[in-house]
């Protein structure tokens, strides 16, 4: 593991209400820590479970993707995709056929075009669920971590991501961001957010977590996770800490492989456990599993998602967690590598999982669980206990009171001026200045008025202001500069580098946006060529902050931790000297030539 050791050291009436139809407004947010349900509530939900057939019970365990912007009338291409992958035409048919307990929204599935459409889709899903023989509201979820993972784009409010918040260091900011995000998601009918990320990113080579983590200091990450959990749930949505037991120290992406975490039990207790303990202490509604192998806790080398020693022994019994456990996507290779798709959901349930997220083939997965129940491999008593936990979560989030939303709620809540201003204020506390030799920054509007912006144009969430170089140039224009954007991509060619150098000849300074620079990255040649011109060069890392270790000679280096509009605007204000760079590194940056030595320590950062 690259640099690992170095970093280690440094209810009946409620059901009737659901079936009655759309309510007049969004249900009042259910706030704070998870309260213990009263006996009467449990009895109502148990009676509801008793009315279900085995097929209906099994369906409630699944959270499934579905293509389309509408529950009943998606575009023809989405109908075709649904029929190919799920055997139904739309979300309403999915619910009628499989009785799924949850649906997850994705941008690529065309679920999240804009807030009003999302609200209509959510209402259509709940209407379909209310028409079932045993009506149970659907728990609609998405991955809205902010930063580099945001399924819902502008005009919804987009906040800095986890590592940027970690650089800001304010638990209050983390809670505020979570609360506002939760309010906006609830107004669109989304009542569960698969956030925050509770992984401690102690491995700079981690290809899948990185800036999705708050940082590398377990106690600092725990504080931020606790704040975000309270914020999301204050805002009215179920939070979900991920990925248990901790995905921060791996150099394998579980989407395409099966990572191993070689922490000892003692290292896990010190490094990985604190954020999950903080989430549980904050009353988190749900926790997501990781498709990782942790030999210290399970010698069978089953992934944690399928490991009873990890999910029941460690999470339930040792940490005392009694909420909902949901798998990471069952379509990821990390969980499919060892067992077939028919065994994975059964083994996950036996391990201690409650919800099965996004299996590659729902027919296979649903049939396998139903067969295991009928054969006695899964007991109906255990299945009912899982269902009760899921239904209690839905009750806490107001779904049995009123699962619907309104267009008026969207207009009142989503992307308001106050919410957008809060996001900008929080972002202003996150930008980190790592190097400022010879006082290159801030740029002078008189001396360096004409600015060239070059670099990567990574994909941003839908509805943003455009490619990152364009957004950054526009933001610098707003600060009084005359900025020109030129994309050179993640792997600039010699011709692109030459064109950038030629363009700089007519400018006074250049800002170069870099993205995960490696030893053999062509981005290094771009930066070297720009430095050779003698013009002021400002390097801005727009994803992982480790780029500076590969860029010798850079005199002015910043980290924004993402390329979304809110972070790029904040970086522009710092470049222009309108804001002081107060963000501090939440991770260590190791030297490229001597990986066991730190170039920058946790907490480093300069101010003007």
What CATH number corresponds to the domain at position 588? Answer: 3.40.50.1700
Active site residue 604: no
Query: Does residue 605 lie in a domain region?
Result: no
Tally of CB atoms within 10 A around 13? 10
CATH number at residue 175: 3.20.20.300
The β-bridge relationship of strands 102-105 and 62-64 is: parallel
Phi, psi torsion values for 318, nearest 5 degrees = -75, -45
| Shared-domain flag, residues 52 and 166 | yes
> Structural domain of residue 255, as residue ranges?
4-27+42-413
| Shared-domain flag, residues 453 and 377 | no
Query: Does residue 394 lie in a domain region?
Result: yes
- The DSSP string of 2-65 is TTHHHHHH--HHHHHHHHT---SSPPPPP-SS-PPPPHHHHHHHHHHHHT--HHHHHHHTEEE-
Look at residues 111, 126, 119 and name the one whose alpha carbon lies nearest to residue 75. 111
**Could you tell me the mean pLDDT of each successive run of 10 residues in the chain, 608 residues long?**
36 34 35 63 94 97 98 96 97 98 97 97 98 97 94 94 97 98 98 97 82 96 98 97 89 75 93 96 97 92 94 96 96 85 96 97 97 96 97 96 96 97 98 96 94 86 74 96 94 96 96 95 96 97 96 96 95 97 96 91 96
Contact 580, 428 (CB under 8 A): no
Residue with tokens 């007991």: 379
Per-residue confidence (pLDDT) for residue 45, from 0 to 100: 96
Contact 61, 101 (CB under 8 A): yes
- The DSSP string of 486-535 is EE--SS--HHHHHHHHHHHTTSSEEEEEE-S--TT-HHHHHHHHHHHT-S
Per-residue confidence (pLDDT) for residue 1, from 0 to 100: 34
3-state SS, residue 244: strand
| Shared-domain flag, residues 407 and 464 | no
**Chain centre distance of CA 363:** 28
- The DSSP string of 329-391 is PTTSHHHHSSS-TTTHHHHHHHHT-SBEE--S-HHHHHHHHHHHHHHTSS-HHHHHHHHHHHH
Indicate the residue among 381, 413, 445 that finishes a domain.
Answer: 413
How many structural domains is the chain composed of? Answer: 2
DSSP label of 197: B
Per-residue confidence (pLDDT) for residue 334, from 0 to 100: 76
Q: Which of 255, 341, 401, 424 is catalytic?
A: 255
Contact 60, 402 (CB under 8 A): no
CA distance 492 to 472: 19
Look at residues 459, 440, 414 and name the one whose alpha carbon lies nearest to residue 185. 414
Contact 135, 59 (CB under 8 A): no
Q: At what angle do helices 171-187 and 218-234 cross, to 10 degrees?
A: 30
* Residue 42 half-sphere exposure toward CB, CA atoms < 13 A: 9
CA distance 137 to 127: 9
Look at residues 579, 534, 533, 575 and name the one whose alpha carbon lies nearest to residue 556. 575
- The DSSP string of 280-327 is HHTT-SEEEE---B-TTT-TT---GGG-HIIIIIIIIIIS---SEEEP
Per-residue confidence (pLDDT) for residue 14, from 0 to 100: 34
Ordered strands of the 62-64 beta sheet = 192-193, 139-142, 102-105, 62-64, 356-357
The β-bridge relationship of strands 537-541 and 589-590 is: unpaired
pTM attached to this predicted model: 0.91
C-alpha distance across the termini of the chain, in Å: 36
Query: Does residue 508 lie in a domain region?
Result: yes
Residues 6+ apart with CB under 8 A from 477: 483
Active site residue 255: yes
Per-residue confidence (pLDDT) for residue 37, from 0 to 100: 67
Per-residue confidence (pLDDT) for residue 486, from 0 to 100: 94
Q: Which of 199, 285, 328, 457 is catalytic?
A: 328
| Shared-domain flag, residues 375 and 255 | yes
Indicate the residue among 378, 413, 448 that finishes a domain.
Answer: 413
Look at residues 473, 469, 455, 484 and name the one whose alpha carbon lies nearest to residue 547. 455
Element (H, E) at 568: helix 565-575
Indicate the residue among 350, 381, 413 that finishes a domain.
Answer: 413
| Shared-domain flag, residues 359 and 295 | yes
| Shared-domain flag, residues 552 and 585 | yes
Query: Does residue 505 lie in a domain region?
Result: yes
CA distance 306 to 428: 42
């Amino acid at each position: 593991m690259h640099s690992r050791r170095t970093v280690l050291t440094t209810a009946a009436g409620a059901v009737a209400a659901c079936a009655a139809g759309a309510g007049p407004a969004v249900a009042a947010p259910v706030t704070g820590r998870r309260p213990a349900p009263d006996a009467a509530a449990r009895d109502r939900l148990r009676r509801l479970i008793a009315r279900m057939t085995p097929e209906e019970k099994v369906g409630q365990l699944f959270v499934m993707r579905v293509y389309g912007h509408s529950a009943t009338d998606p575009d023809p291409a989405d109908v075709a995709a649904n029929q190919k992958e799920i055997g139904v035409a739309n979300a309403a048919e999915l619910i009628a056929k499989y009785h799924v307990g949850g649906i997850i929204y994705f941008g690529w599935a065309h679920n999240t075009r804009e807030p009003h459409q999302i609200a209509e889709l959510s209402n259509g899903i709940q209407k379909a669920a209310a028409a079932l023989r045993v009506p149970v509201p659907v728990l609609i979820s998405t991955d809205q971590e902010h930063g580099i993972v945001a399924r819902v784009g502008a005009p919804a409010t987009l906040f800095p991501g986890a590592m940027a918040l970690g650089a800001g260091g304010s638990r209050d900011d983390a809670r505020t961001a979570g609360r506002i995000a939760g309010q906006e998601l609830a107004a669109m009918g989304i009542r569960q957010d698969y956030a925050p990320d509770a992984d401690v990113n102690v491995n700079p080579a981690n290809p899948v977590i990185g800036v999705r983590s708050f940082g590398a200091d377990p106690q600092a990450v725990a504080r931020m996770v606790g704040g975000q959990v309270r914020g999301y749930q204050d805002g009215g949505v179920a939070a979900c800490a991920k990925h248990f037991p901790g995905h921060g120290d791996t150099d394998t992406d579980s989407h395409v492989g099966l990572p191993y975490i070689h922490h000892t039990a003692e290292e896990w207790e010190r490094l990985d456990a604190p954020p999950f303990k903080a989430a549980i202490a904050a009353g988190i509604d749900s926790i997501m599993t990781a498709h990782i192998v942790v030999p210290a806790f399970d010698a069978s080398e089953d992934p944690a998602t399928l490991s009873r020693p990890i999910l029941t022994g460690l999470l339930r019994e040792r940490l005392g967690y009694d909420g909902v456990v949901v798998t990471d996507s069952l379509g990821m290779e990390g969980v499919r590598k060892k067992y077939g798709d028919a065994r994975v959901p059964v083994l996950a349930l036996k391990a201690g999982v409650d919800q099965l997220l996004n299996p590659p083939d729902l027919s296979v997965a649903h049939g396998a669980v139903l067969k295991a129940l009928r054969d006695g491999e899964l007991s109906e008593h255990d299945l009912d206990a899982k269902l009760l936990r899921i239904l209690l979560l839905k009750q806490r989030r107001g779904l049995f009171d009123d699962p619907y939303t309104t267009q008026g709620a969207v207009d009142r809540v989503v992307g308001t001026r106050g919410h957008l201003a809060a996001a900008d204020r929080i972002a202003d506390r996150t930008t980190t200045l790592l190097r400022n030799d010879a006082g290159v920054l801030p740029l002078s509007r008189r001396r360096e008025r004409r600015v060239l912006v070059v670099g990567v144009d990574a994909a941003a969430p839908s509805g943003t202001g455009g490619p990152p170089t364009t957004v950054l140039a526009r933001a610098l224009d707003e600060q009084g500069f005359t900025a020109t954007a030129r994309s050179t991509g993640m792997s600039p060619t010699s011709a692109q580098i030459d064109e950038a150098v030629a363009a700089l000849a007519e400018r006074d300074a250049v800002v170069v946006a870099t993205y995960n620079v490696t030893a053999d990255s062509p981005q290094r040649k771009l930066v070297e060529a720009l430095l050779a011109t003698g013009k002021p060069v400002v390097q801005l890392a727009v994803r992982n902050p480790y780029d500076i270790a590969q860029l010798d000679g850079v005199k002015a280096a910043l980290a924004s931790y993402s390329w979304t509009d809110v972070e790029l605007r904040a970086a522009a204000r710092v470049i222009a000297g309108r804001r002081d760079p107060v963000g501090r590194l939440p991770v260590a940056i190791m030297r490229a030539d001597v990986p066991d030595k730190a170039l920058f320590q946790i907490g480093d950062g300069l101010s003007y």
